[in-house]
Structure 1
Amino acid sequence: MTGQALLDTALAEAADRALADALGGRVLVSAERFCASMRTLYTGPAPLPSARPAVAVGCYPGWSGAVPDTVLAAETRTRVRGPGQRHAWMQAVDAEASALLRILPAPPVIAAWYATDQLRRWAGPGGTVAAIDGRLRAAVEDKAAFDALLRAAGVPERTRIPCVRIDGRLPGLAELRRRVGAERLVVQSGADSGGRGTVFVDTEEASLAPRA
């Protein structure tokens, strides 16, 4: 075994101990769309056993070996997959998830993308939602307001990507290029993530197209 491998193993073991100490005997629960979320942490080349959730609640069940022992997946109950299901899975398993987390042997720590009142209700008294607050997440993900956040934080203009905020219909491509100071433009609309609401603009037709 090389020195680097020994170092990586030692770091992984230290991280696993730190996570176990942070959990303090509480039950780790994953509440993500994919029930195998975080799988690389506990099945990867430097696995952290403490990162394997005891319970996973989500939309898609994942696959064997990369999921916890207890999985509550909306898709296995509805037998339907589509855009609506991936956004409404929490409602589909709400009552069952709440009941399941109530009978855990210790208070849950729910690892999620962002905190909501629904997740706080699932956690119950003594439980914890380990996630960014939903309102803060919405503010940070609001692409139209992000430059204002950077300015307010004192980030120098030279390190920010030039941009303009436009409420309503976009002007023509030439005017957009003049305002931004670039030939190729990226239009980002609304508070969203994962690339949704982002369009590369190279033609006049694209600059005038409505944004979802």
Structure 2
Amino acid sequence: MGASRLAAAERLLPAAIRQWREQWCFQCDQEPVCVCAEEGSEAMAPVADGQWKLAESSQGKLWLAADWRRLVFARFASEAPQDATAAQLVDAAQQALASGLLAALGAPTAPLQDAQPIQGGPMSARLLLRADLGGVPLLLVAEASLLAGFLPQAARALPLLPRSQAIGGARLKVKVSLPFSSLTVGEANGLRAGDILQGDTHFLEPLSLTAGAQQTIAKGYLARQGEHLALQLAAHEQ
């Protein structure tokens, strides 16, 4: 079933049951208590005097089981007539419940039909919801495919790009070190902008261009560009 589909069922199905109960049940003064879980043999306790119904949607199957007369008529179940009108009311309530649950899951409506009791088992791809509606239990079993729309969308694979295009806009802080032979602490403390430092390295000797933890990325030579001294790159390091 998975966490995403189970979370969607816990969010949507109890709300649909509450709305249906307010519209179809003769007594709805108590808040329904609903528990969702992955189907398992322990949770699939039988419903007393329950009649199973099946709605076979194009996206998956939905089973419902309850003592429907007690569920609809509540404390008036023993007084309600056993006639065609009462039967039609119960049938309409059953269909409305199935339609509301399927709509909450984004599935098309499907007609209800009688079904055999189903036996749950571990590792099945079905969801179980057990609801207590004023002392009358309602059992719902839904195939995981009905909740497929709530699965996380797979990350879109990024197209492969040429290396130069992928990193062409990246910025990197680089440093050029001038190789002086020595410089005293006093001389370093007295340095000011514009001071000229004279080294004993010949200008034809190569300079290194470094980045990060002193990693040499290129070598070059001192050159002039306009009124600025620059490093003219001669070779890239491997």
Q: Answer yes or no: same fold by TM over 0.5.
A: no
Name whichever structure is richer in helix by fraction. 1
Judging by fraction of residues, say which structure has more strand.
2
Higher relative contact order (CA 8 A, sep 6+): 2
Please state which band the TM-score falls in when normalised by the shorter chain: under 0.3
TM-score by length of 2: 0.20
Whichever of the two has the greater Rg, that structure is 2
